Structure 1
Amino acid sequence: MRVDIEEVSVEIAGARLVHEVTLRAGSGRVLGLVGPNGSGKSTLLRCVYRALRPASGAVRLDGDDLHTLSAREGARRVGALPQESSAEFDFTVAEVVAMGRLPHRGGFASGGDEELCAAALARVGAAHLAQRGFLQLSGGEKQRVLIARALAQQPRVLVLDEPTNHLDIAHQLEVLALVRDSGLTVLTALHDLNLAAAHCDELHVIAQGRIVASGTPGEVLRPELLAEVFGVRAHPVRHPETGAVQLLFDRLTDPVHP
């Protein structure tokens, strides 16, 4: 499913946080948003999973305006892992993952739902947690369970806001490889530029609510741009096995006061 973000602006409490952003995620592609803290990445993604309505512009799924769809239909098409997720009640992990099936149910859960949820937990390496209380889990375990819930939803578009939060390096790599191999259209915000370079087809750099660069990781992750946007000196190298762009970083030294 193709996602088109067309001249989207977002205002909250009278402040404009996103300014006329236009970008396209082709069907089955992994699109990454990168930028410093407060740049507007999460705000823009919240429009794609309907937590926010744009002040102007539109988000379209294969041409359909997302915000004209019913809540159920929107949830069938778009699954999300927000940056901050909370649960007030100590549901079991199996119950949390089963919530991903709600958009597809006409009534009670079916045996097929249980199989889908079990398969989703297995895909993120969390099958052994099924009967544990969600609130008893570590941050990394919770993150994997919430990704399983999004997969159990069987959306056609997956929106992930910092999906590697709280995960150790092995699970970071496993989750991003799983997402990349899912065949879904994926929009994700990532702080780690090396993970973004390795797992995204395209990157969009956002600063102060505006897209300032777009393209493949090799085209976007240029030292001069990273110095301007992130305030660091970057040294691009190639991964010895995959050939993907990877970055080594130094502080950006003031030439007047080294």
Structure 2
Amino acid sequence: MRIELTGVSVEVAGRRLVHDVTLRAGSGRMVGVVGPNGSGKSTLLRCVYRALRPATGTVRLDGADLHAMDAREGARLLAALPQEAGTEFDFTVAEVVAMGRLPHQRGAGRASAEDTARCARALARVGAGHLAGRGFLGLSGGEKQRVLIARALAQDPRVLVLDEPTNHLDIAQQLEVLALVRAGDTAPDAADGDGRAGERGDRLTVLTALHDLNLAARYCDELYVLAHGRIAAAGPPHDVLTPELLAEVFGVRAHRVRHPETGAVQLLFDRLAAPAADS
């Protein structure tokens, strides 16, 4: 399922934070939004997962206006992991992940055996199956993040929107989570134990904001660089992450190298030299 933003501007408290953004993530693609702090990444994604409504422009899933959809219909298609995601009540991990199944249940119906199985598989996919009986509030930051990603996967979406999904994760977990969503399909049971195919085998479309440019370069098919709420550059990571752009947008001097195994562009950073003082 493709997601398209056309001419999207976002205002918060009367201030325009995102200006006329046009962005496209093709079906099964992983697209990253990068930029310095305050560039509008989270604001833009909040508009995509309907926490904010655009002041102008549209957000469409396969051509259908997302903001015109019924909330339940939209939640069946798109799941999100916001930066501030969490819960103030001490639900068990299993209960938190089960919340991802609510859009698929009618009324206040109980979780079915299928729902329970999907939740268990989602936890297993993020390496958190052993946490199912634990209280969510007692988990470490990294454990909480993995559980929330499992909740999003259990929702069985076609599009996944992630705002800084590697927060609180150690290096190994960062690589595991991004590899999971990069390669993931939209059906948690696409490879059931009996070998049968799942309901859908098409890959997730992923839109994610990332701070780490090396992770973005390694896992994303395309990048959109935001600066002051506007698109400064867009395209494949190798074309976008140039020393000139990184100096202009991030204020750093970058040295590009190739990852020895994947061939992806990787970056080494130095501070930009301070301008010489006038004599």
Amino acid at match of 1:84: E
> Offset of 1:232 from its aligned partner?
0.4
Runs of 4+ residues deviating >4 angstroms: none
Q: Any idea what SS the aligned residue of 1:242 has?
A: coil
Normalized against structure 1, the TM-score is what? 0.99
Name the residue aligned to 1:2.
2
Amino acid at match of 1:176: L
Q: Any idea what SS the aligned residue of 2:110 has?
A: coil
Name the residue aligned to 2:35.
35
- Stretch moving more, 246-255 or 33-42: 246-255
> Offset of 1:86 from its aligned partner?
2.7
Amino acid at match of 1:94: A
Name the residue aligned to 1:18.
18
> Offset of 1:254 from its aligned partner?
1.4
Name the residue aligned to 1:229.
249
Superposed CA RMSD in Å reads: 0.6
Paired with 1:240 and 1:114, the residues of 2 have a C-alpha distance of: 42
Structure 1 residue corresponding to 2:269, chosen from 246, 249, 253 = 249
Q: Any idea what SS the aligned residue of 1:88 has?
A: coil
Name the residue aligned to 1:93.
93
Normalized against structure 2, the TM-score is what? 0.91
> Offset of 1:88 from its aligned partner?
1.5
Name the residue aligned to 1:174.
176
Name the residue aligned to 2:218.
198
Amino acid at match of 2:169: L
Name the residue aligned to 1:145.
147
Structure 1 residue corresponding to 2:208, chosen from 188, 191, 209 = 188
Aligned positions of 1:88-127 closer than 5 A:
88-106=88-106, 107-127=109-129
Q: Is the 8 A contact 2:33 2:208 kept in 1?
A: yes
Deviations, residues 95-152 of structure 1 (Å, cap 9, x unaligned): 0000000000012110000100000000000000000000000000000000000000
Identity of aligned residues (%): 78
Paired with 1:252 and 1:111, the residues of 2 have a C-alpha distance of: 57
Q: Any idea what SS the aligned residue of 1:7 has?
A: strand
Gaps of 5+ in 2: 185-202
> Offset of 1:50 from its aligned partner?
0.5
Paired with 2:212 and 2:122, the residues of 1 have a C-alpha distance of: 25
> Offset of 1:255 from its aligned partner?
3.5
Paired with 1:157 and 1:74, the residues of 2 have a C-alpha distance of: 10
Paired with 1:73 and 1:65, the residues of 2 have a C-alpha distance of: 12
Paired with 2:221 and 2:229, the residues of 1 have a C-alpha distance of: 22
Paired with 1:243 and 1:180, the residues of 2 have a C-alpha distance of: 17
Deviations, residues 203-258 of structure 1 (Å, cap 9, x unaligned): 0000000001000000000001000000000000000111000000001111415x
Paired with 1:208 and 1:144, the residues of 2 have a C-alpha distance of: 31
Amino acid at match of 1:42: S
Gaps of 5+ in 1: none
Name the residue aligned to 2:194.
none
Q: Is the 8 A contact 2:86 2:148 kept in 1?
A: no
Paired with 2:103 and 2:154, the residues of 1 have a C-alpha distance of: 11
> Offset of 1:87 from its aligned partner?
1.1
Q: Any idea what SS the aligned residue of 2:16 has?
A: strand
Name the residue aligned to 1:75.
75
Paired with 2:93 and 2:227, the residues of 1 have a C-alpha distance of: 37
Name the residue aligned to 1:219.
239
